[in-house]
Structure 1
Amino acid sequence: MRKILLGLLTLVALNTQAQKSELAEKYGNSITVEGLMDQLNILASDALEGRETGERGQRMAAALLMDHFQKLGLKAPVKQGDQMSYYQNVPLVSSKTKSSYLKIGKTKYENFNKNVFVGTGVTAGEMSGEVIFVGNGAPERYESVDVKGKFVLMIGDNNYRATRKASKIAAANGAKALIAVRTETDEILEELMTSYRRYLEAGRMTVDTGIEQNDFLGMYFLAPSLVKEILGKSYEKLSPIAFSEDNAGFEKIKKGSVSISIEKEVKKITSENVMGYLEGSDLKDELVVVTSHYDHLGRRGDKIFNGADDDGSGTAGVMEMAEVFAMAKADGNGPRRSMLFLAFTGEEKGLLGSEYYADNPVFPLENTVTNLNMDMIGRNDDENYNDKDYVCLVGSDKLSTELHEISEEANSTYTDLELNYVYNDENHPEQIYYRSDHWNFAKNGIPVIFYTTGSHDDYHQETDTVEKIEKEVYLKRTRLVFYTAWELVNRDKRPALNEQ
């Protein structure tokens, strides 16, 4: 009798699982090429003017997203006064360098001439200061020197993230500015300045925290040939000292001096994260967040940067997934966990919308189970993966191996894409793990999966247009995110975090 009972229970369990799979497939199949392209054709149209953060086209896109979430019956989750809104207002400040120079002795080097300034600081006219050598800029280099109110000069490698970290160390020790030599030759610096000049001249946007600018001005990237003019020793002689294991030799390096001048144009901007909330059932206090960024590069003269793949593709995916999960709930098959469908502003300006959300979460971060983030899922990397049904996944195993397994199983069960993990390597030169909005969840200990496909020739060009979207594989990628989300919102337990 006991064996019969166990057999019946097993059969019931298997049937229930089969029904769940059929249910997931039913709604997954409701995501169609036609539905995705209907949304994308509007998002990436000339009418939205490239959706640049803080500009009219971005606000039009925000209104489109709000209208979509509202029509689906998703809740407006953001409290604004005594009203609830689909918008989370994101206060930003834009600063553009009007003029900058660095003077060594009587020789003045204007911005982009053997130096380039990166930062938000300003000076009231010309400012002179002592320059102290701090090797590779590591924390221990500051142990025996007082750099408060002074300029510091470091020699590093050509790694922007490492140099940014060094600038924070310099600021924490009271330095006024960091002069960083991050290239081995003047020619390499020239190439970098040429590549980034348009970006730097367009200005830098940051979240407006309401806190006054601190005393740290920013960074000057310096040509190696100028090091001797400041410190009396050449780059070639100082470089091995910079990377020595201790501070040996530092005392023999004389202090130098420079003068700098920085003039900025500053304005305040308000932009919007747009979100719709779908309440769950028995596990409604826990949350799965599905994200994309809906901003892009705007327009430059007559050229409109439509951003069909980057990231109209991910945003249309969020919109379609919201529609399908809302349909499932209307049918009585709603998720057990709650869901937040969230489109970020300001990603192209430095992950600003997601940074603001992580610092000002609408729902507690500790209740956020997972973030599934889509950015550029509509095209193939033609150089490496032409005509392949693939997707690159980043971060799935970083914080939760169980999340990685859920993702793999969803793919093998439903979509059968080639899952590529080339960008999952934290040492990959493109540093993708840190370069889209999922990072602001991951850095707070929330498991993430980032879905992307790598770059292509139209990345950040006006040629990133709708007709180049590869529709069938775009559909498969969106469905994979859906099936992964379906499992995450309906399983009994949230994915376990890896032991630290």
Structure 2
Amino acid sequence: MKKRFWLVGAMAYMLSFSISAQDATALKYGATITAADLEKHLRFIASDELAGRDTGTEGQKMAASYIKDHFEKWGLAGPVDGGYYQVFNLVSNSYPGVSLQVGKNKMQQNKDFIFVGDADMKKSQKAAIVFVGDGSKESLAKVDVKGKLAAVWAIGARTQNIVKDAMEAGAIGVIVTTMEDQTAFDRLAARYAAMTGGRLGFERPTVQEPAFMVSGTQMAAIFGATVDQVKAALGNPASVAPAQATFQVKKQTTTVPTENVLGYLEGTDKKEEVLVLSAHYDHVSPGADGRIIPGADDNGSGTVAVMEIAEAFALAAKDGIKPRRSVLFIALTAEEKGLLGSQYYVENPIFPLENTVNNLNIDMLGRIDNVYKDAEDTNYLYAIGSEMLSSHLKKILDYNNITYTGLNLDYRYDDPADPNRFYFRSDHYNFAKYNIPSIFFFSGLHNDYHTPEDTIDKIEFPLMTTRAQLIFHLAWDLANREKRNPVDGSNNRGDR
């Protein structure tokens, strides 16, 4: 049997003797975070009744109500003009009339290509397709793209950057390959096909930037070539003969109201300073086959952890033990749509950002990932971003872990150069952009990520409990210590 839970329990048992004199209070309230309570909440949050909690849906609203009721039950204040909801509007942009024909081949949307740009065209347009290699400025300089569709082989690159550079060079649109693997492309295309509600975002004017994503095989077929022939032409893109395309994009826009859910506990002598604990409670819509994607780990686990941590603080407050700093608990919406809930909060903060001392963000806390699944010791947790803005925050985290929980804190993703780009992929990043020292707590990716198999029966509740207790102890420390940890610029990378 793997050393999962007996090690966690034994460590906590031994540590309790050594620290009881130091901080019995923290231990007392940390112990109120239990596997039974986490499971109780998660059974509702990840239930079929909520149908995946996609932003703007009835299931998302039901989850918001459940979280709000929990905050209210335990005496947390509603800080949004006396209420718990920070309501705002997103817009859903759908593109029901996208067509792309190369030569005589009429390509099929969300099968042969995915539309990833923005445009609204009254009539179809014809243009040459020219190959521009990897889309670098050097490659773009080798080919005349003005008035043409630029075809870019940009494996591993970010689509937004590729489209921007090609359009600035004079292209009227872009066909891009960012993944060579056909299976990966097919999986992404299926997700786009399932997005019946359109793409959510903040309202902005339509930008005429038609951009089509294709697989490596499809890119080669556009030019009547093989994948190897396309790769061989990367250094000399002008050697690839142009193709001809006809395309059109039609756009529809609807308004989608949604809400962050906030619970607030006012501090004592340092109440003007605010510690923020967050987790996104939305997930994704049903898959292409109509099956519900319950999001038990992503991010039902983080949501219920924030609820339980909030309850622990509230229980202490009911006993007359309030934190020195104020604590704001936020269940964020629309993370899956591009970190939109956290973006809205930092652009419309309820409490001044200059008084926000830290953000502790939880996104997937309940599983054992592909890295650790075969390990002897699975008593781990990833911590991302702890040294990016403050040299002190990681030290404070390590101290609380050694003192209370004894987890293996894994910092391998604590790097903006991480190819997974995890530092940029959850809600903490919007706080970090405002120089608020932040940590993203994460248990890692697994094969059930964003699939109908991300179910509650696979959650490791005892291990998840210990992880949530660590975050509670860190929050308790940050809320009560004499000085806030400085933004000292030692590794200031929040603007990347």
Relative to structure 1, the CA distance from residue 132 to residue 281 in structure 2 (aligned partners, 3 Å threshold; closer, same or farther) is farther
Check if 1:334 corresponds to 2:322: yes
Offset at residue 447 of structure 1 (A):
1.7
Indicate conservation of the 8 Å contact 2:302/2:364, yes or no: yes
Relative to structure 1, the CA distance from residue 38 to residue 114 in structure 2 (aligned partners, 3 Å threshold; closer, same or farther) is closer
Offset at residue 343 of structure 1 (A):
0.6
- Give secondary structure in 1 for the equivalent of 2:77: coil
Check if 1:309 corresponds to 2:297: yes
Alignment match, 1:218? 211
Relative to structure 1, the CA distance from residue 70 to residue 175 in structure 2 (aligned partners, 3 Å threshold; closer, same or farther) is farther
Where in structure 2 are the equivalents of 1:435-446 lying within 5 Å? 435-446=425-436
Counterpart code for 1:87? Y
Alignment match, 1:51? 53
How many angstroms apart in 2 are the aligned matches of 1:180 and 1:264?
Answer: 21
How many angstroms apart in 2 are the aligned matches of 1:363 and 1:176?
Answer: 43
Relative to structure 1, the CA distance from residue 465 to residue 134 in structure 2 (aligned partners, 3 Å threshold; closer, same or farther) is closer
Alignment match, 1:325? 313
Which of 177, 183, 202 is the equivalent residue of 1:191? 183
Where in structure 2 are the equivalents of 1:48-197 lying within 5 Å? 48-79=50-81, 84-112=82-110, 114-129=112-127, 134-138=132-136, 150-157=148-155, 159-160=156-157, 162-171=158-167, 175-183=171-179, 188=181, 190-197=182-189
- Give secondary structure in 2 for the equivalent of 1:303: coil
- Give the root-mean-square deviation of aligned CA atoms: 3.0
How many angstroms apart in 1 are the aligned matches of 2:137 and 2:485?
Answer: 36
Check if 1:412 corresponds to 2:402: yes
How many angstroms apart in 2 are the aligned matches of 1:140 and 1:235?
Answer: 17
Identity of aligned residues (%): 40
Offset at residue 349 of structure 1 (A):
2.6
Indicate conservation of the 8 Å contact 2:98/2:115, yes or no: yes
How many angstroms apart in 1 are the aligned matches of 2:22 and 2:103?
Answer: 75
Specify which structure has the higher proportion of helix: 1
Alignment match, 2:40? 38
Counterpart code for 1:61? A
Indicate conservation of the 8 Å contact 1:154/1:179, yes or no: yes
Where in structure 2 are the equivalents of 1:225-264 lying within 5 Å? 225-226=220-221, 228=223, 235-241=230-236, 258-264=245-251
- Give secondary structure in 1 for the equivalent of 2:32: coil
TM-score by length of 2: 0.83
Indicate conservation of the 8 Å contact 2:110/2:190, yes or no: no
Offset at residue 119 of structure 1 (A):
2.5
TM-score by length of 1: 0.83
How many angstroms apart in 2 are the aligned matches of 1:53 and 1:18?
Answer: 44
Relative to structure 1, the CA distance from residue 278 to residue 148 in structure 2 (aligned partners, 3 Å threshold; closer, same or farther) is farther
- Give secondary structure in 2 for the equivalent of 1:180: strand
Check if 1:286 corresponds to 2:251: no
How many angstroms apart in 1 are the aligned matches of 2:261 and 2:268?
Answer: 23
Which of 359, 366, 370 is the equivalent residue of 1:371? 359
- Give secondary structure in 2 for the equivalent of 1:332: coil
Indicate conservation of the 8 Å contact 2:113/2:212, yes or no: no
How many angstroms apart in 2 are the aligned matches of 1:382 and 1:455?
Answer: 6
Counterpart code for 2:427? D
Counterpart code for 2:153? I
Which has the higher Rg, Structure 1 or Structure 2? 1
How many equivalent residue pairs?
Answer: 463
